[in-house]
Structure 1
């Protein structure tokens, strides 16, 4: 299902309308169905809204379910009031359980996304590691890592510079933080700085060059992505160290 349908305004409208639609279907059988069974059906609708939509959709669906349960299935009917304490308890539990389940469903979906992202990160690191072991030239690995960094951090561009440090650009550190001047830059809040960011590369503890990252305005690469970027840079550095040893054995 398209992302815009499951995460956008449509998800909110569907979450609000679905409990009403289900209540309309069950209404002709009101005298033959226990209110607790109706509540269980509505909880199922709330879970579906949370799984297919998002956390807010699930919460709104729970509120809608409790509201229409009160209106159609508790006496006096077609009024937003409840005469029996048992029905009041059921309505309150429907709301609370619906909200709780929707939060759990949303969290489970988020963990699944994180797991998929982590698997992709591991695949990138593994691929680069294999390439570093088999590549004839370190340039091949550097070009590969450069392309990975562009995709990983959503960059406009990236280049590799050998040799001495020049200037004082923003810097991506080993812990995934970004330093601009002498202060930490809040990437999660502001995204990467609107200027080149250096990612230093070391070979056996010795500085050998740097990737110059050209950030895309309005992008917010996660801490996990930034840490993977550091790992990829380290693999490029190890390749340069191996190449230097091969050129000057002993």
Structure 2
């Protein structure tokens, strides 16, 4: 709770700073004894917008853009100390500040999402490699299945993941090797609707053509929406059980 409150407080401060910084800059430029070219003022405001956008908060970037346009109009365009604009060129600058703010904010968010995706992919690969090393070093089926089950639970955001030794697969939703989830021959839209919460999802494990068993994937307390990449990683992790020697 304290961490969430701290994070919320930081977001509020970031948005407040994004609103105040253009006001301070435009007021300072407007009070300067020498006329500052509008282009220079606009560049300074764009830098403030970029600084707000790189916080990763869409609200901060948009607020900085709106604040820049308003205070540029108020302090730096004729008639001064008024929101009216007489010059078409000044109107264009104010509009461009808004457009740049929106564009920079979205680009910053896109870049953060890309970095997060790369980080997750590296984490998945590290998990698969660590599990493969566990198979090579331990070789014990019980140890391997417990390790794999825990990693699958983390990757898919499940409540529980357990391995069942069985030559047959019971009825129910199945996580296929291509990452799709099917129920009764129908593919489910997991990324939109999430994994079924009313039934466990089965992840079969085969050693060649010989069934070793299956993982029961349970997500009953919340809706889990793992991506296709996450589901394929779960299949790769399950394959490590097939490589472990039978007990």
Category of TM-score, reference length = shorter chain: 0.7 to 0.9
Show the counterpart of 2:77.
Answer: 74
| Closer, same or farther: CA 4–124 of 1 in aligned 2, 3 Å | farther
**CA shift at 1:135, angstroms?**
1.3
Show the counterpart of 1:229.
Answer: 234
Distance 2:121 2:7 in 1: 21
Q: Is 2:47 the partner of 1:44?
A: yes
**CA shift at 1:136, angstroms?**
3.3
> 3-state SS of the aligned residue for 1:32?
coil
Gaps of 5+ in 2: none
Q: How big is each residue's C-alpha offset from its partner over 1:82-140, in whole Å with a ceiling of 9 and x where there is no partner?
A: 21233223222222222222222111111111111111111101111111111131221
Q: How big is each residue's C-alpha offset from its partner over 1:38-60, in whole Å with a ceiling of 9 and x where there is no partner?
A: 21121122112221133354234
TM-score, scaled to structure 2? 0.86
Gaps of 5+ in 1: none
**CA shift at 1:196, angstroms?**
0.7
**CA shift at 1:146, angstroms?**
0.7
Superposed structure 1 runs of 4+ greater than 6 Å apart? none
TM-score, scaled to structure 1? 0.85
| The 10-residue stretch of structure 1 (221-230 or 83-92) with the greater mean CA deviation from structure 2 | 83-92
Distance 2:16 2:191 in 1: 30
> 3-state SS of the aligned residue for 1:155?
coil
Equivalent pair of 1:170/1:181 in contact (CA under 8 Å): yes
| Closer, same or farther: CA 180–26 of 1 in aligned 2, 3 Å | farther
Show the counterpart of 1:213.
Answer: 217
Distance 1:22 1:116 in 2: 37
Equivalent pair of 2:169/2:204 in contact (CA under 8 Å): no
Show the counterpart of 1:204.
Answer: 208
Equivalent pair of 1:192/1:217 in contact (CA under 8 Å): no
Q: Is 2:163 the partner of 1:163?
A: no
**CA shift at 1:68, angstroms?**
2.0
**CA shift at 1:169, angstroms?**
1.6
How many residues are paired up? Answer: 241
**CA shift at 1:166, angstroms?**
4.6
**C-alpha RMSD of the superposition:** 2.4
Distance 1:184 1:21 in 2: 56
Match of 2:243 among 234, 238, 242: 238
Show the counterpart of 2:125.
Answer: 122
- Structure 1 residues 1-250: aligned runs within 5 Å: 3-5=7-9, 12-29=15-32, 31-194=34-197, 195-215=199-219, 216-239=221-244, 243-244=245-246
